[in-house]
Amino acid sequence: MNQGPLNEEELEWLDEILTKYGNDDSVLDVSELDGMLTAILSAPVVIPLSEWQTALWGGKEQLPNWQSEPEQKRFNDLALQHMNDIAERLNHAPDQFEPLFGYREVDGHDYTIVEEWSFGYMRGIALGDWSALPERLQTVLEMIALHGDEANITKLEQMTEQEYEVSQEAIGPAALQLHSYWQEQRKAESKTIH
């Protein structure tokens, strides 16, 4: 398996596969996958590969009927390479960490689309037990949940353009803060166990 960030062609191929085998309950695109993997890497406990891959497709009943073994292997290899790249940035180069948001052009203006990434992050959170997250960090998590929970759509619609942009800019730093917190908790637990 290769290391380092995926190139544009590899990201597009992952997007195509997610669309090809996707369903109403699966990860929609590579942005949502990026958010999900970021949350999994930030979780208080290690999430087994088989568990998150099943969740990626929306459950055991939704697992793809792969066209070929090489297609499945390439998907798994690229997803893991991308996950390792996220882990490297989160752990060793947080200044280089950036959520993989989508972009859309409308009437000559480029818009950042954070919802897919945020929904993916919340999907990843659902795989781990985040109940021990302190109240002071609940507000940090809410910065992501604002864009990753359908219950917040009305709140988003009522924001000014400036408030909306500020809320988008808070997502990356929030993800880093949450990752840092849980990593410290894991380190403390491993020292206690040994």
CATH number of 185's domain: 1.20.120.740
Q: Could you read off the pLDDT of 115-174 as tens digits, one per residue? A: 999 999 999 999 999 999 999 999 999 999 999 999 999 999 999 999 999 999 999 999
When mean pLDDT is compared across 28-42, 152-166, 176-190, the lowest value belongs to 176-190
Domain count, the chain: 1
| Residue 62's pLDDT band (cuts 50, 70, 90) | very high
Percentage with pLDDT > 90 across the chain: 89
Q: Is residue 1 part of a domain?
A: no
Domain that holds residue 22: 8-193
Q: Is residue 3 part of a domain?
A: no
What whole-number distance in Å separates Cα of residue 26 and Cα of residue 46? 21
Q: Is residue 178 part of a domain?
A: yes
pTM tops 0.85, yes or no: yes
Q: Is 22 helix (H, G, I), strand (E, B) or coil?
A: coil
The pLDDT of residue 188 is 82
Q: Which of 102, 171, 181 is nearest to 143 (CA)?
A: 171
Please say if the pLDDT value at position 193 is more than 60.
no
DSSP 41-69: HHSSSPPPHHHHHHHHTTSGGG----S-H
Would you state the structure tokens that stand for residue 7, as one six-digit string?
Answer: 């190139």
Sign of the CA dihedral 135, 140, 143, 148?
Answer: negative
